[in-house]
Amino acid sequence: MRAWMFALVLAASMSNATADDEAQSPIFGHIEFLWNAPVAGSGARPVAQGLLRHPETPHLACWKTQGFPQRAVDIRLEIDDSAGRHTLWSGTEPGTESKFVRCGTIDLAALGVTPGLRRIVLRFDGQIAAQTTIEVAESLASAAFARGDRMYVHGRTNYPDDLAPVDYVGRLVWVLGFGPDGHVVDVQTEVAEGLAATRLRTAGQAAARLYRIGPDPAKPLRQFRQPYDIRPVP
- pLDDT at position 234 is 58
- Asked if the structure places residue 100 within a domain, the reply is yes
- pLDDT at position 154 is 98
DSSP state of 183: B
Q: List the CATH number of the domain containing 170.
A: 3.30.2420.10
User: Do 33 and 100 reside in the same domain of the chain?
Assistant: yes
- pLDDT at position 22 is 83
Kindly give the residue spans of alpha helices, DSSP state H, lying in the chain: 2-21, 108-111, 201-208
User: Do 100 and 55 reside in the same domain of the chain?
Assistant: yes
User: Do 179 and 116 reside in the same domain of the chain?
Assistant: no
**Distance between CA 189 and CA 205 in Å, rounded?**
8
- pLDDT(166) > 90: no
Q: Are 172 and 156 in contact (CB under 8 A)?
A: no
- pLDDT(104) > 90: yes
Q: What is the pLDDT of residues 7-62, one digit of tens each?
A: 333 344 333 444 456 899 999 999 999 999 999 999 999 999 999 999 999 999 99
Q: How many CA atoms lie within 13 A of 212 on its CB side?
A: 20
User: Do 113 and 54 reside in the same domain of the chain?
Assistant: yes
- Asked if the structure places residue 123 within a domain, the reply is yes
Domain of 73 in residue numbering reads as 23-146
- pLDDT at position 164 is 84
User: Do 137 and 157 reside in the same domain of the chain?
Assistant: no
pLDDT band, very low/low/confident/very high, at 163 (cuts 50, 70, 90): confident
> What average pLDDT does range 66-76 have in this prediction?
96
Of 128, 146, 164, the residue at which a domain comes to its end is: 146
**Distance between CA 48 and CA 30 in Å, rounded?**
14
Q: How many domains are contained in the chain?
A: 2
- pLDDT at position 65 is 95
- pLDDT at position 189 is 97
Three-class DSSP category at 205: helix
Of 146, 173, 201, the residue at which a domain comes to its end is: 146
